[in-house]
């Protein structure tokens, strides 16, 4: 019984979707939505953001002498 209900609902859904697609005008395929550009930045001294270390301490589970301690991957 449930299998037949799923079949009927799916066919109804496909029919409804097909009717909606009939209203969509034909369009050309779009490969790139935006124009891609290489972006460069000037080299310079890194800026320290306030509160960054505290956020890192909350997120990193283990620390060893001021450094994040992590397991080696297999």
**For residue 14, what pLDDT is reported?**
93
A 10 A CB-CB count for 61 gives 8
Distance (Å, rounded) from C-alpha 37 to C-alpha 14?
40
Q: Where are the beta strands (DSSP E) in the chain?
A: 63-64, 67-68
Provide the CA 71 distance to its chain's centre, in angstroms.
Answer: 26
Write the pLDDT tens digit of every residue in 10-68: 999 999 999 888 877 777 777 666 676 777 878 888 888 898 888 888 888 888 898 88
Q: What angle do CA 42, 49, 62 make, to 5 degrees?
A: 115
């Amino acid at each position: 019984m449930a299998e037949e209900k799923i079949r009927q609902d799916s066919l109804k859904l496909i029919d409804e979707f097909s009717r909606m697609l009939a209203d969509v005008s034909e369009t050309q395929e779009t490969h790139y939505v935006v124009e891609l550009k290489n972006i460069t930045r000037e080299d310079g001294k890194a800026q320290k953001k306030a509160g960054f270390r505290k956020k890192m301490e909350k997120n990193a589970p283990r620390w060893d002498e001021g450094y994040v301690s992590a397991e080696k991957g297999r």
